[in-house]
């Protein structure tokens, strides 16, 4: 049985996606489309001082299923008497580079163009890793849109990013998160304290802070591991630490770039299809480049082999993956309502999205990624849904 493309849950672009968060916050500062901020249907209460704490890998379903490890975050869920949190969709694919660009620019992937983990450089026979920015391409030609942070800074709102010093000069930070001041701090506690300090320093402020260690632990050990649960407890304490220091007339939003699911690594489970294995010759036939990641593959065909590659992938994987041609994926709105012309060639001739407990790994080409326990990228709720949790101080 081939899964119908109509069953794929398209992200809620324009109303309840990660890309809508900063435009909604900017609207509370009085900035609109005339100020260069993308429009949104998401409405958030106005606050003079706003902090966004983005936790890499903190999925909505992961919080809901771990109340003991995350009591503070759980208290912000709608099931709590005091909670007003809600889930957002992150966009497709549900991966860090794509999501951070959506968050920072306020635009879906089809516009900003960071359409996956590994994507083809149009016109070339090579892939670009958009998280590590390798090989290097000119950042502002690859992603030309200004960030919302740049717009708020230009409008006179005190804008800053508090993050690990290692991210200050990366191309991904430049194209997705630049604007205002970058303040590097090594520990999560230092970041929370400085974020609160910067919120209180001026009458109108927008502060962004980030924590990546939860995602790293999930990839390495899985979200079912004691190590991951220990990191979730750290995240919960950090969020509470920041919330307790909020100055008057402020709001804190806790969100994420994607969730994560564990995919069995035991070959006997049959959950991982190894593209590089001898028995997968039919999947490799006619393929020029294999991009994306395990649960969200961009497949680039040899010229003239597009139809054959599409048919082969549907035949082999269509019962576990939504398999679409480039045009079908664009028409379905997977990358947003608009796909800029410069972005089209970055999308695979075939796009394969996991709908079940499955992944296409490549043990020879991608040995590190293929060994990861926790994965993301798909439109599955475990990866696609992230929290928008709110704490306010009047």
Nearest to 299 by CA among 261, 353, 255, 254: 353
CB contact burial 171-199 (16+ within 10 A = b; e otherwise): bbbebbbbbbebbebeebeebbbbbbebb
> What is the structure's pLDDT at 2?
93
DSSP 199-241: HHHSSSEEEEEEE-HHHHHHHHH-TTSHHHHHHHHHHHHHHHH
Q: Are 232 and 297 found together in one domain? A: no
Provide the CATH number for the domain around residue 312.
3.30.1360.180
pLDDT at 94: 98
The percentage of the chain sitting over the pLDDT mark of 70, rounded to a whole number, equals: 99
Range of the domain at 284: 267-374
Residue 82: band (very low, low, confident or very high) from pLDDT cuts 50, 70, 90: low
Indicate the pLDDT class of residue 268, thresholds 50, 70 and 90. Answer: confident
pLDDT at residue 313 greater than cutoff 70: yes
- Do 16 and 100 share a domain, yes or no? yes
Residues 179, 117 share a domain: yes
Q: What is the pLDDT of residue 366?
A: 97
One domain, residues 124 and 67:
yes
pLDDT digits (tens, 9 = 90+) for 143-181: 999 999 999 999 999 999 999 999 999 999 999 999 999
Distance of CA 5 to the CA centre of its chain: 22
Mean pLDDT of 375-385: 98
Confidence band for 80, pLDDT divided at 50, 70 and 90:
low
Is 250 within 8 Å of 393 (Cβ atoms)?
Answer: yes
Same domain, yes or no: 143 and 257: yes
CA distances from 282 to 8, 277, 323 (A): 25, 11, 15
> Residue 84: its pLDDT value, please?
80
The CATH number of the domain holding residue 67 is: 3.40.720.10
């Amino acid at each position: 049985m081939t899964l119908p493309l109509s069953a794929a849950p398209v992200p809620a672009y324009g109303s309840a996606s990660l890309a809508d968060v900063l435009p909604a916050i900017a609207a509370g500062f009085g900035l609109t489309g005339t100020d260069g901020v993308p429009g949104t249907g998401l409405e958030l209460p106005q606050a003079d001082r706003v902090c966004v704490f983005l936790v890499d890998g903190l999925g909505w379903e992961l919080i809901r299923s771990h109340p003991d490890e995350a009591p503070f975050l759980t208290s912000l869920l709608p099931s709590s008497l005091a909670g007003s949190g809600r889930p957002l969709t992150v966009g497709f694919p549900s991966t860090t580079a794509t999501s951070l660009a959506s968050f920072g620019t306020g635009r879906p992937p089809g516009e900003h163009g960071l359409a996956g983990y590994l994507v083809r450089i149009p016109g070339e026979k090579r892939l670009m890793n958009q998280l590590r920015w390798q090989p290097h391409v000119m950042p502002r030609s690859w992603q030309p849109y200004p960030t919302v942070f740049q717009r708020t800074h230009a409008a006179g709102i005190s804008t800053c990013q508090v993050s690990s010093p290692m991210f200050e000069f990366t191309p991904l930070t430049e194209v997705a998160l630049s604007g205002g001041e970058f303040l590097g701090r090594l520990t999560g506690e230092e970041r929370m304290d400085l974020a609160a300090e910067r919120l209180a320093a001026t009458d109108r402020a927008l502060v962004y802070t980030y924590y990546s260690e939860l995602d790293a632990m999930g990839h390495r050990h899985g979200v079912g591991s004691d190590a991951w649960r220990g990191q979730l407890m750290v995240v919960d304490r950090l969020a509470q630490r920041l919330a307790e220091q909020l100055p008057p007339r402020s709001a804190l939003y806790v969100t994420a770039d994607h969730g994560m699911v564990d995919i069995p690594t035991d070959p006997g489970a049959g959950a991982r299809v190894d593209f590089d294995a001898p028995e997968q010759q039919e999947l490799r036939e006619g393929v020029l480049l294999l991009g994306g990641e395990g649960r969200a593959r961009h497949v680039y065909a040899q010229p003239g082999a597009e139809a054959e590659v599409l048919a082969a992938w549907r035949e082999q994987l269509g019962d576990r993956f939504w398999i679409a041609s480039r045009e079908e994926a664009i028409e379905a709105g997977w990358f947003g309502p608009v796909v800029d012309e410069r972005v089209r060639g970055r999308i695979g001739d075939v796009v394969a999205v996991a709908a079940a407990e499955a992944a296409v790994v490549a043990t020879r080409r991608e040995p590190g990624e293929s060994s990861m326990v926790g994965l993301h990228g798909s439109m599955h709720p475990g990866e696609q849904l992230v929290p928008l949790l709110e704490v306010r101080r009047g």
